[in-house]
Amino acid sequence: MIIDKLFKRVESASPICVGLDTDISYIPDFLKEEYDSISDLVFEFNKRVIDSTKNYVAIYKLQIAYYEALGLEGLDAYSRTLKYLRDENLLSIGDIKRGDIAATGDMYAKAHFTGDFEADFITVNPYMGFDTISPYLPYMLNNDKGIFVLLKTSNEGAADIEDLETEKEKKVYEHVGDYLAELSAGYMGICGYSSIGMVVGATHPEDAESIRGRYPDNFFLVPGYGAQGGKGSDIKKYMRENNGAIINSSRGILKATLGKEVTRENFGSFFEKAVLDMKEDLEG
Amino acid sequence: MIIDKLFKRVESASPICVGLDTDISYIPDFLKEEYDSISDLVFEFNKRVIDSTKNYVAIYKLQIAYYEALGLEGLDAYSRTLKYLRDENLLSIGDIKRGDIAATGDMYAKAHFTGDFEADFITVNPYMGFDTISPYLPYMLNNDKGIFVLLKTSNEGAADIEDLETEKEKKVYEHVGDYLAELSAGYMGICGYSSIGMVVGATHPEDAESIRGRYPDNFFLVPGYGAQGGKGSDIKKYMRENNGAIINSSRGILKATLGKEVTRENFGSFFEKAVLDMKEDLEG
């Protein structure tokens, strides 16, 4: 099960998930002078971030919106980055937040668990109902894939829908979570977690312990650390015995070279230091 | 406002939205023998569907999942089809169901309202909260774009989340709708509808009149006609004075040639007939 590989990476490296939300403005000039095509430029930047951080990182998450915004060339870079991670025996999340039903859901599953855009995990949006989850399940067993379903996200707007209290004395996100928890049993790894994971934002430390307690079998993907306000000292609340969660940082890593004297030689060291600083903050 | 263009198309042509959910299996052999690349094949099929139906159709909707499932080549066909519609002065919906926040939401807006994947309208998923809507608003005013937000979808799973009754005596989809209705005032066309539309499935005729009455200013994109069970005789309930809604059919049109004696000459006539049959069913 893919979740066992993730569990081991958290154990041996760290719970850090590096978010490759690559914006052209994060890329140093010397690299821009070297590559003419957007695809080459973005891929080469990602490759250097990966190469210089891979020993301290559990998994890499690609936010597909950044690549879509660069058009066909951007998606070429997305595809090449996922392939590079696979070739290097590293784990990947396609942060695609897709959610659709029936034949359309099947197409998204095929699109992101096979072919040009194949990732180990993807993120899934459950708004349309639980038939948005089912298209991914066969791939989890047959192709060793996993999902992280949006539960309680890190943004302020999480209160608008996810936190609504329903007449069944459950919040909307608890309806989603309780359904997933029940479904999880069929997709358990030997590590004690299911390949059905949940997205739980780092900006809700007051709820973290109760969510962790309610869903002990589910791995959490935790966005919102750093720039959005999530604190390293709260992260333990999302974990169980120092595992069971991955903590995402995107801009905190990718923007590490901005405002620095960057050269071809020292370039990677800024990303390495940013990840090591984050590791220390999480462990502190 | 883009919504005025759509209103006029419904008035002059029909409320039909043709869903270009193009699967390779829908494409006749003679066309497959002619084109080597997936991008050419899918684009040429779409082009023929468009050419033979454009006089009777309000708008074309591209379900991006089908194109993503074909990888980079598929997205090239997606991009070319949108460009062809624009060149032909026809309207398009990118059925992308994206929903994300802050910088990521901005990237989705940029991706699908400009550049390679530019469409006139896109579909939006509100699960993460109302900050998933705001990234699209500037484009609506500055680039003359529109959105259709998922409200109450056509699938069975619509009951799982969208229909949940909250303690405020509103269903989840009503929370979404009421927010959108309030927001709509700033984006009104002269036709009396807002460029902020709603997705309301054709499979809920029992609720259609109350939803129509509650949101008089919003155009509805209505999926679920035909294969999913939505009936032509119910469609008036989603409209107001024979306008204000577009009714999607995908497989009902695209599969029109399957099992028929198809030649280069008669190919387009099957799509034309399927659309005219649907027009009659809706008007009947």
Q: What is the pLDDT of residues A256-266, one digit of tens each?
A: 999 999 999 99
Chain B residue numbers touching A110 (CB-CB < 8 A) = 69
pLDDT of residue B243: 98
pLDDT of residue B229: 85
**Region B57-73 average pLDDT:** 98
**Region A141-169 average pLDDT:** 96
Choose the closest CB to A150 out of B72, B127, B179. Answer: B127
pLDDT of residue A227: 78
Mutate to test the interface with A, among B104, B169, B203 (most CBs of A within 10 A): B104
The alpha-carbon gap from A163 to the nearest alpha carbon of chain B, in Å, equals 10
Q: Give the A:B interface size as CB pairs under 8 Å.
A: 183
What would the two tokens of residue B114 be? 């400009």
Chain A residue numbers touching B104 (CB-CB < 8 A) = 21, 63, 65-66
pLDDT of residue A147: 98
Relative to beta strand B218-222, strand B59-63 is unpaired
pLDDT of residue A207: 93
The mean predicted confidence, pLDDT, of chain A is: 96
Please calculate the CA angle B246-B247-B250 and round it to the nearest 5 degrees. 125
pLDDT of residue B11: 98
Say yes or no for a CB contact (<8 Å) between B129 and A102: no
Mutate to test the interface with B, among A63, A127, A130 (most CBs of B within 10 A): A127
d(CA B81, CA A175): 39
Residue of A nearest to B228 (CA): A102
Separation in Å, CA B240 to CA A150, A182, A276, B148, B246: 36, 43, 60, 17, 11
Q: Is the pLDDT of residue B160 over 90?
A: yes
Say yes or no for a CB contact (<8 Å) between A162 and B79: no
Say yes or no for a CB contact (<8 Å) between B127 and A63: no
pLDDT of residue A145: 98
Say yes or no for a CB contact (<8 Å) between A125 and B125: yes
From the candidates B8, B83, B97, B236, give the one annotated as an active-site residue.
B97
Q: Is the pLDDT of residue A167 over 90?
A: no
Beta-carbon contacts of residue B232 (< 8 Å; ≥ 6 apart): B225, B278, B281, B282, B284
d(CA B26, CA B63): 15
pLDDT of residue A284: 79
The alpha-carbon gap from B156 to the nearest alpha carbon of chain A, in Å, equals 8
d(CA B138, CA B105): 12
Write out pLDDT tens, residues B114-135.
999 999 999 999 999 999 999 9
Say yes or no for a CB contact (<8 Å) between B127 and A125: yes
Choose the closest CB to A129 out of B71, B117, B161. Answer: B161
Write out pLDDT tens, residues A86-114.
999 999 999 999 999 999 999 999 999 99
Q: How far is CA A148 from the centre of its chain?
A: 8
- Cα diameter, chain B: 60
Q: Is the pLDDT of residue A245 over 90?
A: yes
Chain A residue numbers touching B172 (CB-CB < 8 A) = 161, 164, 166, 172
d(CA B204, CA A117): 35
Task: Indicate the pLDDT class of residue B284, thresholds 50, 70 and 90.
Answer: confident
Q: Is the pLDDT of residue B144 over 90?
A: yes
Query: What is the ipTM score, two decimals?
Result: 0.97
Write out pLDDT tens, residues A33-86.
999 999 999 999 999 999 999 999 999 999 999 999 999 999 999 999 999 999
Which of B66, B91, B103 is CA-nearest to residue B15? B91
The mean predicted confidence, pLDDT, of chain B is: 97
- % of residues, chain B, pLDDT over 90: 96
Q: Is the pLDDT of residue B138 over 90?
A: yes
pLDDT of residue B228: 83
Which of A59, A23, A5 is CA-nearest to residue A257? A23
Write out pLDDT tens, residues B206-232.
999 999 999 999 999 999 998 788 899
Write out pLDDT tens, residues B19-50.
999 999 999 999 999 999 999 999 999 999 99
Say yes or no for a CB contact (<8 Å) between B130 and A69: no
Say yes or no for a CB contact (<8 Å) between B103 and A21: yes
| SS3 at position B160 | coil
**Region B188-194 average pLDDT:** 98
pLDDT of residue A190: 98
* Residue pair B102/A155 in contact by the 8 Å Cβ criterion: yes
pLDDT of residue A226: 85
d(CA B19, CA A104): 12
Task: Indicate the pLDDT class of residue A216, thresholds 50, 70 and 90.
Answer: very high
Mutate to test the interface with A, among B26, B42, B128, B156 (most CBs of A within 10 A): B128
Please calculate the CA angle A274-A19-B76 and round it to the nearest 5 degrees. 140
pLDDT of residue A91: 98
pLDDT of residue B226: 85
